[in-house]
Amino acid sequence: MVDIKNRRHFLKRTKYEELRPSLLYIGSKVTVFGRQLKLIEYGDDFTRNSIESQTERTLAMIKPDAFKNMGKIINAISQSGFLISKLRVAKLSKQEAQEFYAVHRGKPFYDGLTDFMSSGRICALELVAPGAIRKWRELIGPTDSNQARAEAPGSLRAQFGTDKTYNACHGSDAPDTAAEEVAFFFGPGRYPGKCDLARGTTLCLVKPHLVADGVAGLVVDMVQDAFDVTAGQLFTLERNAAAEFYEVYKGVLPAGEFNAMVDHLTSGPVLALEVADRSGADAVEAFRQLAGPLDPELARVLRPESLRARFGLNNVQNGVHCTDLVEDGVLEVNYFFTILASS
């Protein structure tokens, strides 16, 4: 690795097992020996030709009728070999839905489609994989959910769709369309369908080791079984942001453990969720019960059905972060979905 500006080597050729080949695509952020790097261009044509065909991108969307099954669908995506490079929960306005589906303007189903797509929360994702466009359309199945149940019973539309409009998922149909649709949700300065943050909510962070292992969907599914997810986004944190977020633990935890927590939170993408109690009560304490004790070993004894008991490895890689104090719920939610999301 060469520092071009200063004309010196930053890193000699060495083995680094923590860096997965699937993360090597333009726009990806990777951490190498504690240094966060953004991949902005290929070094040469050979590298471009070798990697580009393996990192096709497409836009996937979980529609309002299937949003309650978001965790199951995210898990199916991960288990099918896709890398989720971007993710955001949104609530489209009617005008935004019309803009996204402008290609269908004037068709008989246009008004009904845009009414439906602005009727509730959706989840937009950028997926990366070899042949991602074709692969995702095969996974979701035929447009008509009834046809999907007959022809592709294992597809997502067969499992979670109802008919031709309420059909659970959307998928780009060509490279040009994919680029346009990804830019609609994730382009510079774009933030369509920004969710209004609610009162009495709490923050759940699905930590990088679970995102990297492709099990974040299982966590989301457990959360959705008991709570409503009212906002969500995939973040890659810089070290100063992670240290600021964890500042309350500084001086409380041993310095080594605090630094390890910051290191882990910046080691890869983290999935942030705003979580609400369906009863309208404050969600902080109820969600802490679902998260379980900080130490996964203790969680497996005291709360074996908790998230940390099921997914935690140790005190640092313990599956999820949850808000500890009721008064901090709004602060932590706003830190991610107002401060970091707009930075």
165-189 residue pLDDT tens:
999 999 999 999 999 999 999 998 8
Residues 256 and 322 both lie in one domain: yes
Angle at 168 between CA 165 and CA 171, to 5 degrees: 90
Each residue of 69-99: b (16+ CB within 10 Å) or e? bbbbbbbbbbeeebbbbbbbbbbbeeebbbe
247 domain-assigned: yes
pLDDT band per the 50, 70, 90 thresholds, residue 197: confident
Residues 132 and 85 both lie in one domain: yes
Residues 157 and 218 both lie in one domain: no
* The pLDDT of residue 34: 67
SS3 of the chain = CEECCCCEECCCCCCCCCCCHHHCCCCCEEEECCEEEECCCCCCHHHHHHHHCCCEEEEEEECHHHHHHHHHHHHHHHHCCCEEEEEEEECCCHHHHHHHCHHHCCCCCHHHHHHHHCCCCEEEEEEEECCHHHHHHHHHCCCCHHHHHHHCCCCHHHHHCCCCCCCCEEECCCHHHHHHHHHHHHCCCCCCCCCCCCCCCEEEEECHHHHHCCCHHHHHHHHHHHCEEEEEEEECCCHHHHHHHCHHHECCECHHHHHHHHHHHCCCCEEEEEEECCCCCCCHHHHHHHHCCCCHHHHHHHCCCCHHHHHCCCCCCCCEEECCCHHHHHHHHHHHHHHHCCC
Phi/psi at 139 (5° precision): -70, -35
Residues 48 and 153 both lie in one domain: no
Residues making up the binding site for ATP: 63, 109, 137, 143, 157, 167
Q: Does residue 45 register a pLDDT over 80?
A: no
Specify the higher pLDDT residue, 180 or 5. 180
What residues are labeled active site? 170, 321
CATH classification of the domain holding 271? 3.30.70.141
Residues 65 and 130 both lie in one domain: yes
Q: Does residue 114 register a pLDDT over 90?
A: yes
**Residues ≥6 apart with Cβ < 8 Å to 322:** 202, 203, 204, 205, 287, 288, 290, 291
CA distance 167 to 156: 9
225 domain-assigned: yes
CA distance 100 to 122: 13
Structure tokens at 114: 């845009």
Residues 221 and 138 both lie in one domain: no
pLDDT band per the 50, 70, 90 thresholds, residue 12: confident
288-343 residue pLDDT tens:
999 999 999 999 999 999 999 999 999 999 999 999 999 999 999 999 999 998 87
Q: Does residue 122 register a pLDDT over 70?
A: yes
pLDDT band per the 50, 70, 90 thresholds, residue 55: confident
- Average pLDDT (105-113) is 93
63 domain-assigned: yes
- Average pLDDT (270-295) is 96
196 domain-assigned: no
pLDDT band per the 50, 70, 90 thresholds, residue 39: confident
Specify the higher pLDDT residue, 25 or 315. 315
Q: Does residue 37 register a pLDDT over 80?
A: no
Residues 49 and 83 both lie in one domain: no
Give the count of domains, the chain: 3
Q: If you average pLDDT over every residue of the chain, what do you get?
A: 92
Residue 120: which domain range? 57-186
* The pLDDT of residue 52: 64
Decide if 208 contacts 264 (C-beta within 8 A): yes
* The pLDDT of residue 225: 97
195 domain-assigned: no
314 domain-assigned: yes
* φ/ψ bin of 176: left (φ > 0), alpha (ψ from -120 to 50), beta (otherwise): alpha
Specify the higher pLDDT residue, 250 or 30. 250
248 domain-assigned: yes
191 domain-assigned: no
Specify the higher pLDDT residue, 46 or 139. 139
CA distance 168 to 65: 6
- Average pLDDT (138-160) is 97
